[in-house]
Amino acid sequence: MTTKQTVKKIALLTGGGDCPGLNSVIRAVVQSCILEYGIQVVGIPDGFKGLLENKFIPLDLLNTTGILSKGGTILGSSNIDTPFRVPVIKDGKKIYEDRSDEVVQHLKQERVDAMIVVGGDGTQSIAHGMSQKGIKVVGIPKTIDNDLNGTEFTIGFYTAVTTAVEALDKLHTTAESHHRIMVVEVMGRNAGWIALFAGLGGDADVILLPEIPFDLNKVGNYLNDLYHSRKKYSIVVVAEGAKPIGGDVTVSKIIEDSPEQVRLGGIGHRVAEELEKITGRESRAIVLGHLLRGGAPEGFDRILASRFGVAAVKAVVDGKFDTMVAYRNDNVELVPLETGAGKNRFISPDSAFLQTARHRGICLGDS
């Protein structure tokens, strides 16, 4: 951290996967910079890809008007580009180059005094690396997965949960009509926050999480007991990173040049097929996938993005760099940037949300 100093220009970047609420934070940063401090703002298009290409877009009150309620990000994003590992072809072979010194020069040439970087654990890891190169950086946490270490909630999470809950509400009626088991796969990588919150809000009978390896025979027996006692249909929510006891995650594909090479997916169909065999009842699988990333941000995400944006600008003005804004106990505070750099937050066994699921009788696959 450094002492308070004069800041004339801030660069803003949205990296990693898109999510609802990114435009809300862009709007808040621009408004706070211009109206409160008289600071100029430039946006970097397409995440760190734009920084590698030395591209900057002036942001002002006019070109950010009306975007707060819009999903996605007007700046664009990238979840595969990093200046520390750029793929190039030399002598017919692919190698990786560190071009971080080059992007440092781009920022200096643009006369950027500080950067605000909005992203998840991968993006914050790159931002921390840039800070170690001498760039003044403040991070803002966003990811629908809500798995970023150091903060209780991230931008995009609540909207993704709302989208999942709305889907579950619709599936209840069709599942009931045909007495089916409906298995809904949601995103979340190796953390089960979306699955847990969606299952709680969407009245699921079963929630399968990456943090709790499951036994499908126990799940099947539980669903059969429900069927014979009081309920002729069932809703199962499964996180994409969930895995059976003694088994492994289900991988959909490998992206070689991506910092996140392993892409999960397919566990929903596996669970549905196995449950149909175990229970003898028709089971269908639905994968919500990128639907969870889309649409307008709901109210909480808009407000959280505004709080984060304003707090990040203040941190820059106060000279508190190499930090990340974080939501803790209804307060927005600063934590060291390395807290969220490449580090995840998982559901603990004593989580109040997890215990709520158990007390409601929801099956988690372990009993």
Report the catalytic residues. 145
Q: Are strands 137-141 and 114-119 parallel, antiparallel or unpaired?
A: parallel
Phi and psi at residue 341, to the nearest 5°: -75, 105
Q: CA torsion 161→162→165→171, rounded to 10°?
A: -120
The Cα 25–Cα 66 span in angstroms is 12
| Sign for the pseudo-dihedral over CA of 313, 316, 317, 321 | positive
Task: Return the number of other C-beta atoms located less than 10 Å from residue 146's C-beta.
Answer: 28
The Cα 92–Cα 75 span in angstroms is 34
The Cα 20–Cα 211 span in angstroms is 26
| Sign for the pseudo-dihedral over CA of 163, 142, 123, 242 | negative
The Cα 321–Cα 336 span in angstroms is 9
Query: Which residues does 230 contact at the CB level (< 8 Å), separation at least 6?
Result: none
End-to-end CA distance of the chain: 48
Check: CB of residue 209 under 8 Å from CB of residue 364.
Answer: yes
The Cα 232–Cα 203 span in angstroms is 15
CA separation, residue 250 to residues 185, 242, 340, 343 (Å): 12, 8, 26, 22
SS3 of residue 284 by DSSP = strand
Check: CB of residue 117 under 8 Å from CB of residue 139.
Answer: yes
Max intra-chain CA distance, the chain: 71
Task: Return the number of other C-beta atoms located less than 10 Å from residue 225's C-beta.
Answer: 12
